[in-house]
Amino acid sequence: MRKLVYLILIVIVVACSTGVSREEQAALAAKGYYTHLVQGEYEQFVEGRFMADSLPADYRSQLIEGYKQYMAQQQDRQGICEVRVSRAYTDSLAHYTNVLLMLCYGDSTTEEVVVPMVEHNGRWRMK
């Protein structure tokens, strides 16, 4: 009986400690933002930037236009067909998490990009 109680306690402790890490949270957010970009949802991509709510309207529209041009250039490689998380690591001195995303193109090439992420008010944002 005592062994059963210990076993149940161990299972409860293990189950409670398997939460999502900060790196995983940042990686999921970065992948989500880049998925918006790939799908042409430029406003949502801009909203993923740190301090996006305080961007002047002119600058916001310039960013959106720049992202549209960037995505148009990607058509030379048959567009981005998939975004994958390569890895993520936290820089404890700088207080941000770098997420490495693999952009997979339609011509079967790939490109790895680094997306610095910061947690602000409980949400992960691109720095």
pTM score, whole prediction = 0.82
Q: For the chain, give the mean pLDDT.
A: 88
Q: What is the pLDDT of residue 106?
A: 97
Instruction: For residue range 33-92, list pLDDT tens digits in order.
Output: 999 999 999 999 999 999 999 999 999 999 999 999 999 999 999 999 999 999 999 988
Q: How far is residue 4's CA from residue 12's CA, in Å, rounded to a whole number?
A: 12
The pair phi, psi for residue 72, each rounded to 5°, is -65, -40
CB atoms within 10 A of CB 68: 13
